[in-house]
Structure 1
């Protein structure tokens, strides 16, 4: 190894002219590569370009050591112009030596300074931070001095380095030399970083416990040469990757259904290379998100999910929805909802059968029952409620199914603990004993669920009789009452969002139910005629005629929705920021309506009852309530009797 570095030198075209008549070994091979590079780059001034580079090629080849056949990489820095291009030509000709292990030395042309900042040409290279030669005086090169000054401005101070254990000015716990070494190791594109070794310094104690090869994230700068090296490293890693071995082949038929894939062992640090079809699909997905007005930085998890799925499975066959959901649930930084919607639009999704969470919970409760006979009976009960029994019937809502199953679980477990092993052993006495200790809504809830349960079993011929058929409960029916006027005054003034104001107005003025708000569609609102249609399963649609104030609220909401989500394809009238961009068009959840009225301070049901009671006070005609609010005859009669108790003896009395 040379004790002193090679002195600085610069070769120009005048130096090349002096050796133009020499016969230099390897020059013809380099000249041939320059000719090919000129063809590839379609150089206009071809003759001048080749002539200039050939002159520098003679200088680089002539500057080789006598015993060396290859041109050293650091010798290219001596050329005044076109060093990188000539290095590429030498490399293609096989005349460029591999770069040597990197040595961290002070940059050329920068002399060290004393502690006070004075230049001392006799102390060249003797920098305490980067190299420590045999000299006890504390000196710093110009870059290190500037770096220390900047660290002091930021409130830094000298302390022991976590890596080399020297007492120097630190940044993030390490000195400047260690930062450079770690940064070079982090973005080592030329394979020249010092691994399992370290730059030595002299006339100083050896750094005991040196953390060799330790990587500290964020050490390399985000801009400059390290950022360039980082991009080159990513490009090299992208080129070195290979396609997955488990790509779905369209020509291969499925022999048997495959079980759900387990993505927990997936190594996301080195994903496989994308096929051309998969790469085009990922690019189109990114363009699709930009076209919808979404911020792609906020949804990078969706892009990452699609990249991983198509990288491992390909894009030639539809991808199972269960695989996307399993992949997204495995890692916290992955998202699958928008990927599923996008693949559905492109016809590349193998959708799984839809499942309602209420029905899934009801099935889970039924499976958890201790005795298998009662568990099978509850599953049959669920089938009947869903209209899937032996006799066709109208299906109940999923929430009703869950409530019925949840109501009878405890009593079924109690009967199992008492030694009953079959629903056919249940008698009227058992049902009465179960209802005896209960009161109010709890007793009525269990009574309704048991009657429905045994009626379904008898219809499916699993029991001989219905033990709950002749059991009745006496319960008090609450009388609808109005709310105090001070709780309703200024109700809309508490809200700012047009959507929230419209929802509260529909409940407070037209007595809509929260479930009706959830399922309203944009086509149900006819603003030109001022009408709103309510869809009712098994009954005729109810038409509401809106007043001018409610129409203004509806117009304000439509305008806001258009400006926020102009490309939204959700058919429902009320949307959230999640459902508006969901191409499957789901309705808002009931929790959105519930949270709205919690902010207002009034339950939606109490506000609806207050509106109907107020209308009943102004009219004693139940038909008027039926036409205005779509009530049944019994409900309308009850509201009229509540508002006019003196009419209990009249012809409308029950």
Structure 2
């Protein structure tokens, strides 16, 4: 059993993969002794860096540049604190390496550190700081140069001396500098990860001037959504950490900086902190959507022309196009499936030396399609959309999918569910599991419809769906509904969440539960229950296509999939 490492272990190089011995282990906490390429059941694609988004994964969610234990991690010189040295150089810049080989170890007379010192009893950093203000023709004054602090530099670069401004232009120059400083905000040049323990201590003992902006909203959210004292304190501590980490003068917080707090506070409430900052008008939402990260991961390393064409297709698919040829935006789930279908083929074309999608002929496209009916169907759908958009934008000369027939997807045979499993879920001790199972088992709703149900959708024992259907609830469903509502009122008496199904994570906010709730605990999926319900209706109605279509809100083609499964005599009821 692994334990959470201390601060110093973050800077040690992680151990090598147990299998290949070449790459580093994917995670050192929690302990994963394999790289992503050698994980059992893999290989799996390594994720992008959580800090900078780089695809060069190293370990612990970070890339080679961001992980402190990587040989390519850039740090500071241990003698002069200059930025830009590597572990392989013993954390010393070139100047300090030479200085250490020519001077003895001792205590610096000015900064009182123990390190190589020169003839005047000063270390190299103190001497370089004094040289910065040295007047031409005069010796360096170490007392004056170190009185107000030490000047840091970039590694392996000569330190520039500060030249005094002419007396007649000093005031004017300062006015110009002040004006520029007020008009521009200095971005961070590089990021230094703070000590998590010190950060938690400062967040507990200190607060900056943002507290008056956020505390009122925190307490208002706590009152409206029924936050516990623990959750309220978690959000306040996270806000104090953000205030401590932010540079002076910063008035806005980026969402990625809030998410990064998980590195320093494992018990922080990130979602509620984002809600408070958004309500306060202090949030800049710079989070990259999951579909964007998925696209970048699948099409990394392609030729520039091909990558540009794919980005054009992806942008129009996600956001649509208001200019002719117009196109409505597609659901990200649909785009993800199409990417999954075309990504292996496009990558293979790039490996064969193809630079642009304009080089693809109908013959090459047909030869590249997979033989499996399911994979071929989605590849054909993806390429139809891809080449159709590129042809409409004059990015290619001809559409190779013109006249290409669409392969029908392979359809599975629907089968009834195990009765004992359904009865166990209907009589589950968790009221949420019992209610969700009964709604699907008796009325055949989908998992998406279950998650979207709100308290106001049920009036006088009747359920109204967004598509206009009104369903009288069966008596077993009503009994489980009463039990669930009593449990909700007892467990979360002050929640403002309007959804019928509320969890510990969604009770303090207004979002719907996750798609796995409550089916992981039920031991059966909503789709299995819905399929079982449709099959029973097919048998009871004698294959009445119109009745099944109206009852479950599905199309004629979907109804035809269920007909004749249990009783071969119903095959005559298939639509023409």
Per the alignment, residue 443 of structure 1 pairs with: 376
Alignment counterpart, residue 517 of structure 2, candidates 592, 599, 610 = 592
Of 365, 368, 372, which residue of structure 2 is paired with 1:431?
365
Shift of 1:594: 4.8
Partner of 2:238: 305
Q: What secondary structure is seen at the aligned counterpart in 2 of 1:408?
A: helix
Shift of 1:282: 4.4
Distance 1:333 1:486, change over 3 A: closer
The partner residue of 1:606 within 510, 528, 531 is 528
Kept in 2: contact 1:365–1:406 (CA 8 A): no
The answer for the alignment partner of 1:506 in structure 2 is: 439
SS in 1 for 2:497: coil
Q: TM-score, normalised by structure 2?
A: 0.59
Structure 1 match to 2:462: 530
2:516 counterpart SS class: helix
| 1:432/1:283 CA distance change after superposition, 3 Å | closer
Q: Distance in 1 between matches of 2:249 and 2:273?
A: 13
1:559 equivalent in alignment to 2:482: no
Cα 1:645–1:566, aligned 2, differ >3 Å: closer, same or farther? Answer: same
Q: Which residue in 2 is equivalent to 1:625?
A: 548
Distance 1:383 1:646, change over 3 A: same
Q: Say whether residues 1:336 and 2:270 are aligned partners.
A: yes
- Residues 591 and 374 (structure 1 numbering): CA distance in 2 closer, same or farther, change over 3 Å? farther
Query: What residue number does 2:349 align with?
Result: 415
Q: Which residue does 1:639 correspond to in 2?
A: 562
Q: Does the alignment pair 1:483 with 2:442?
A: no
**Alignment correspondent of 1:363:** 295
User: 1:380: Cα distance to partner?
Assistant: 1.9
Taking structure 1 as the reference length, the TM-score comes to 0.52
- What is the alpha-carbon root mean square deviation over aligned residues? 3.5
| Aligned-residue offset at 1:341 | 2.1
CA 1:456–1:541 in 2, change beyond 3 Å: closer, same or farther?
farther
Per mean C-alpha deviation after superposition, the further-off stretch among 278-287 and 484-493 is 278-287
Residue 315 (structure 2) aligns with: 383
**What is the CA–CA distance in structure 2 between the aligned matches of 1:604 and 1:530, rounded to whole Å?**
21
Give the conservation status (yes or no) of the 8 Å contact 2:425–2:434. no
Partner of 1:374: 306
Q: Which has the higher contact order (CA 8 A, sep 6+)?
A: 2
Deviation at 1:300, TM superposition (A): 4.3
The aligned counterpart of 2:8 is none
1:192-213, CA deviations, whole angstroms, 9 ceiling, x for partnerless residues?
xxxxxxxxxxxxxxxxxxxxxx
Deviation string 1:362-386 (CA, Å, 9 cap, x unpaired) is 3322551421222222222222222
Structure with greater Cα Rg: 1
568, 571, 576: which is aligned to 2:498?
571
Q: Does 1:492 align with 2:442?
A: no
1:496-528 per-position Cα deviation (integer Å, ceiling 9, x unaligned):
1111111112222222222222233333x2232
Q: Deviations over 1:173-228 (max 9, x none)?
A: xxxxxxxxxxxxxxxxxxxxxxxxxxxxxxxxxxxxxxxxxxxxxxxxxxxxxxxx
CA distances 1:396-416 after superposition (whole Å, capped 9, x unpaired) = 222222222122221111111
Local SS of the residue matching 2:502: coil
Shift of 1:483: 3.4
Q: Residues 632, 323 of structure 1: CA spacing in aligned structure 2 closer, same or farther, 3 A cutoff?
A: same
Partner of 1:461: 394
From the superposition, tell whether residues 527 and 365 of structure 1 become closer, same or farther in structure 2 (CA, over 3 Å): same
Deviation per residue, 1:420-448 (Å, 9 max, x gap): 11111112222222225x32423333333
Residues 281/408 of structure 1: CA separation in 2 closer, same or farther (3 Å cut): closer
> 2:384 and 2:483 mapped to 1: Cα distance?
48
The separation in 1 between residues aligned to 2:377 and 2:529, in whole angstroms, is: 24
* Aligned counterparts of 2:192 and 2:490: Cα–Cα separation in 1: 39
Distance 1:643 1:649 in 2: 13
**Do structure 1's residue 296 and structure 2's residue 229 form an aligned pair?**
yes
Equivalent residue for 2:450?
A: 517
1:616 matched to 2:538: yes
In the alignment, the residues of structure 1 paired with residue 359 and residue 425 of structure 2 have an alpha-carbon distance, to the nearest angstrom, of 56
Q: Separation in 1 of the partners of 2:392 and 2:378?
A: 21
Where does 1:20-99 land on structure 2 (aligned, <5 Å)? none
Note the alpha carbon deviations across 1:79-134, whole angstroms, 9 max, x for none: xxxxxxxxxxxxxxxxxxxxxxxxxxxxxxxxxxxxxxxxxxxxxxxxxxxxxxxx
